[in-house]
Amino acid sequence: MKVNSTVWATLRQLGRVPTPKGVSSREIVRRAIEFDDPPRIPYYFLYHPSAGDMIIVGPTESASGFSGAARGLAIGETYVDSWGVRWETTGHYWDHAIEHPLADLDRLEHYEPPDLMSSFERVRPLLPLASWGKKYVVGHNPVQMYETMRSLMGFEALMMAPYDQPEGLLALLELLTRKTLEVIRTYGETRRIHALSTPEDWGLQTSLQMKIDLFREYYKPFYRRIVEACHQYGMHFLWHNCGYIVDMFPDMIDLGVDVVQLDQPRLMGHELLTQQLGGRICMWNTVDIQWSTRESVSVEDLRQEAAAMVRAYDVQGHRGGFIAKHYPQPWDIGLAPEHQRAIYEAFLENGCGQDGLPSSGRCVSILATVLEGLGRSVPGAEATAHGAYVERSATQPAVRALRPLRLPSEPRRFPARSSWHRRRPSWCCRGRRAGCRCPRSPGSCCA
């Protein structure tokens, strides 16, 4: 099995990272999201090093257009994805949509959306490993409603739809919302996935892509159904949303969005973000990708920026509300490995740190055992599209002999006893799900 660098880095993240005694990575992330006084700032770094309190899983075959390069296509070559959108290969992570099957929404009546979750079964065996690592597990949303609408219709047609195709627009929103609810149900029923993450960018450099009134009239009711479905399964809703989106913040708060992930926090300003979101929505932010890749920005500048972010977000004052990360496709923005390492070290020095080092080597060995059981093998880090971003110790073999590893086949069930009533585990759904076997609250479910 040939694994590209992103997959390899994600697998390495299964290793445990240092946490305070008696507190898991999963608990640290939950407490940061819910403003419940985490013992340190949680973090997610995909490269240099591959370490974090979180791991992202999802279908192995993306239904969206990226990337032609991963398919072995040359720049300029085209292909059609499972949505029926034709893309032109750019050589980067994101390709360019050139043919849109639903520019005319009258075609929606005969349109068949793809099956998005069939390939999820291939990564399901990773969930027990994530439980072993006590990770906070994030399920990627392959529907990506607004991004997919832009690909299916084209930007201009989508912007005009509220005026010339309003009924078709609502029908498409209904279709994609139902597909998203199917994803949420699949993730929720695993009882091992703690959040849904959806990448849907609504901002431009200076404003939203449309008037906020149109968002409220057409889109907000459908997002509300999605967010509420996540909460019914005891999952958080994480929204990657780039651009200048300040006008959306009151609506995101009203919807119950738990986390907003921003790659351009300087675009709006750290102080403004704190004023608008502090104590209301947790931020999962990178050091600004437009600023950090400038030639004039030094390693020391990056360190100072990370420290400034932690100060501005007032993590202690708000009892949480921030998760650190850096951009997961660093080659696309030209973020050098030494800059990635500097960002990681700076965040560890300013609230993320804990004594010890990530135990990714042990994780690789465990992963080798699991994949061997599936009839596969774990490759080295060579010959990948972006191999320079894959880290592996020179002394760490790709596959190490390991005694058989016993993994849990299902979530742990706690016996009914008095200690349960005194200290409810952090992952208890508090009676919000049907069909639960939880002894504390019959009729509810714990995940």
The neighbour count for residue 288, using CB atoms within 10 Å, is 20
Does the pLDDT of residue 125 top 70, yes or no?
Answer: yes
| CA angle at 300 for the pair 295 and 302, rounded to the nearest 5° | 70
pLDDT mean over 142-152: 96
Evaluate if residue 378 carries a pLDDT over 70: no
Nearest-CA neighbor of 54 among 23, 5, 22, 17? 17
Domain residues of the chain, as ranges?
A: 5-63+114-389
> Domain 5-63+114-389 is of which CATH architecture?
Alpha-Beta Barrel (3.20)
Short-list 235, 232, 275, CA closest to 259: 235
CA distances from 164 to 156, 168, 246, 399 (A): 12, 9, 28, 58
Band (pLDDT 50/70/90 cuts) for residue 422 is very low
**pLDDT band for position 60 (cuts 50, 70, 90):** low
Spatial separation of the C-alpha atoms in residues 29 and 38, rounded to whole Å: 8
Q: Do residues 97 and 85 lie in contact, with contact meaning Cβ atoms separated by under 8 Å?
A: yes
- Condensed to tens digits (0 to 9), the pLDDT of residues 193-235 reads 999 999 999 999 999 999 999 999 999 999 999 999 999 999 9
CA pair distance 436, 445, nearest whole angstrom: 3
DSSP H or E segment with residue 52: strand 51-52
Split at pLDDT 50, 70, 90, the class of 62 is low
- Cα–Cα dist 151/158, whole Å: 9
Helix or strand (DSSP H, E) at 295: none
Q: Which residues pair with 56 in a beta bridge?
A: 138
Helices marked H in 208-329 — which ranges? 212-214, 220-232, 249-255, 265-268, 270-277, 289-292, 299-313
Cβ–Cβ < 8 Å for 259, 284: yes
pLDDT of 394 above 50: no
Q: What is the DSSP letter of 403?
A: P
pLDDT at 429: 52
Most confident region among 65-69, 192-196, 339-343, 379-383 by mean pLDDT:
192-196
**Model pTM?**
0.81
Identity at 99, one-letter amino acid code:
E
Tell me the average pLDDT across 175-180. Answer: 97
Residue 364 has pLDDT above 60, yes or no: no
Residue whose C-alpha is closest to residue 326's, from 51, 29, 93:
51
Average per-residue pLDDT for the chain = 82
Positive/negative CA dihedral, 213, 215, 219, 220? negative
Vertex 46 angle, CA 43 and 50, to 5°: 90
pLDDT score at 217: 97
* Amino acid identity at 233: Y
pLDDT tens profile 253-312? 999 999 999 999 999 999 999 999 999 999 999 999 999 999 999 999 999 999 999 999
Beta pairing partners, 100: none
CA-to-CA distance for 211 and 254, rounded, in angstroms?
A: 18
Please give the pLDDT value at position 118.
86
Q: pLDDT: is 336 or 436 the higher one? A: 336
Q: Cα–Cα–Cα angle for 186, 192, 195, nearest 5°?
A: 75
User: Which pLDDT score, from 0 to 100, does residue 84 have?
Assistant: 94
Strand pairing category for 86-88 and 96-99: antiparallel
